[in-house]
Chain A
Amino acid sequence: MDTVMEVKGLAKTFTLHQQHGVELNVLQSLDFSLLAGECMLLHGRSGAGKSTLLRTLYGNYLPAAGSIRVRHQGKMVEMLGSEPRQTLELRRTTIGYVSQFLRVIPRVSCLDVVMEPARARGMALDKATARAEALLSRLGIPQRLWTLAPGTFSGGEQQRVNIARSFMVHWPILLLDEPTASLDDANRNVVIELIKEALRAGSALIAISHDADTRNAIADRYLDMTPKELSHAI
């Protein structure tokens, strides 16, 4: 299978200038590679840097050192030091990111929020609408909410709108930060199905999940993120 992501010597440090310049070394010399169609779970306690790693891979956090190479339109490209517009181009077609939290924009309807990733790639309006409606139905968002802005939705509804949005298009690489947290069983199973469909379609996934059922259902392998100074204790 094809390698879609190659990470070497990745490090992430936070320097808190407003708090006496404290330095936090959250990620240190991390190496892994990822194949198409593979699901890798991040393993480690709370605070081990799992979410930090996902955000760093998405270009949201700036790495301190190392290399993140990603297969983008048939070529391996380096994300470290890339221009903002190159990172945005990667995010439009290659790397997707799902968190539990929806960033709502006033006045933009639920359907438009969900369709956006597909529209940004030029999918026709009627096709995008049909796909968005199908996803919202599967995730149990009632039709009467589709034309409303999600700002007033419950937390669980916003989370499902966010998941629908993320599965609108095919992502060669998809980063999932607790996609099933706080969902009921029925909805969690729908999300697991969506994840499996994405894997069958060749997406490579990196996921964080504190829910054992979800982990067992989707994981092909685990990446141990226990900090080195703690590893002897386990």
Chain B
Amino acid sequence: MNPLLSVRDLTLLYGPEKGCQGVSFDLYPGEVLGIVGESGSGKSTLLSVLSGRNRPDCGQVFYHCPQTGSIDLYQASEAERRNLLRTQWGFVEQNPRDGLRMNVSAGANIGERLMAQGVRHYGQLRQAGLQWLKQVEIDPSRIDDLPRTFSGGMQQRLQIARNLVSSPKLMFMDEPTGGLDVSVQAHLLDLLRRIVRELQLAVVIVTHDLAVARLLADRLMVMRRSRVVEAGLTDQILDDPQHAYSQLLVSSVLQP
């Protein structure tokens, strides 16, 4: 099996040890990679460079598309990159308001990626809207409502549906359960787990919640001061951390 994403020596620094540097890894289809670490360790910067939102100072991101072959993300044309971001990839923001269009209906939010791919048939768009609302456990009768009438948990699920409609192979998630209360979080985690497995999605997820990491991620990278200090199998990192900082991180969590 070939990796879906190959990352080599990726670096974007805003200052000494601010940002991310020297990050390399391969991500395979269906694999979930968690990025954990303290605030300011560079997790979100790394995610933005991986997902084509910020050009790195140096290093490469290769995406191996099963259909069209290998793309070097930052050597590709703007059109190629935009197309990749809107079809094969998805991005779930921590704050759903950043990932949704708040002034158009739920159905229109879901249909946007399809329209960008040239689907113009109203019936098809509506059908996709209804189907994806159901998939993310939102009452389909809410299809014409604006996202701002939804609760935080529903908005987050709508954002996920909006991404999944183009059948992406790879999703980036920035603290997807961050601002939600615990019961809503459990619902969303359950949904994410199911979707990741059913659709064989590869995911890079940034989280500071180690319980979320344990539940969703196959493997972890622990970041500190812009560098990856430890990487490996999720339960091995959490149960037998090797690096002094990983040990501190794991031992600092309160057991409920």
Contacts and interface: CB of A to CB of B under 8 A. Distances in A.
Interface in A15-58: 15-18, 55
A9 B50 CA distance: 40
Interface string A95-124: 000000000011110000000000000000
Contact of B218 (A14, A15, A85): A85
Interface in B112-166: none
B190 A61 contact: no
A168 interface: no
B244 A61 contact: no
B251 A18 contact: yes
Contacts of A55: 239-240
Nearest to A106: B186
A34 B56 CA distance: 50
A18 B242 CA distance: 11
B247 A62 contact: no
Main secondary structure of the interface of A (DSSP, over half): loop
Interface in B152-192: 186-187, 189-190
B232 interface: yes
B248 interface: yes
B236 A59 contact: yes
Contact of B31 (A85, A87, A106): A85
Contacts of B244: 17-18
Contact of B233 (A14, A15, A87): A87
B62 interface: no
B236 A62 contact: yes
Contacts, number: 49
A14 to B, nearest CB: 8
B251 A62 contact: no
Contacts of B243: 17
A201 interface: no
Given A60-B235, A85-B31, A85-B218, A18 B240 contact: no
Contacts of A107: 186-187, 190
Nearest to B252: A18
Interface string B223-256: 0000000001111100110111001100100000
Contacts of A15: 242
A14 B239 CA distance: 11
B82 to A, nearest CB: 30
B232 A105 contact: no
Given A18-B244, A59-B236, A88 B186 contact: no
A84 interface: yes
Contact of B232 (A14, A16, A18, A62): A62
A10 to B, nearest CB: 14
Given A85-B28, A106-B186, A106-B190, A61 B247 contact: no
Interface in B182-224: 186-187, 189-190, 193, 215, 218-219
Pick the most buried of A16, A62, A84, A106: most chain B CB atoms within 10 A of its CB. A84
Contact of A60 (B28, B215, B239, B242): B239
Nearest to B214: A103
Interface in A187-226: none
A49 to B, nearest CB: 13
Among the interface residues B189, B234, B236, which one has the most CB atoms of the partner chain A within 10 A? B236
Interface of B: 28, 31, 186-187, 189-190, 193, 215, 218-219, 232-236, 239-240, 242-244, 247-248, 251
Given A18-B251, A60-B240, A84-B232, 17 more contacts: A17-B243, A17-B244, A17-B247, A17-B248, A18-B244, A18-B247, A59-B233, A60-B235, A61-B236, A61-B240, A62-B236, A62-B240, A62-B242, A88-B218, A105-B190, A105-B193, A107-B190
Interface of A: 14-18, 55, 59-62, 84-85, 87-88, 105-108
Nearest 9 CB-CB pairings of A with B = A17-B244, A106-B186, A84-B219, A84-B233, A61-B240, A107-B190, A17-B247, A18-B247, A60-B235
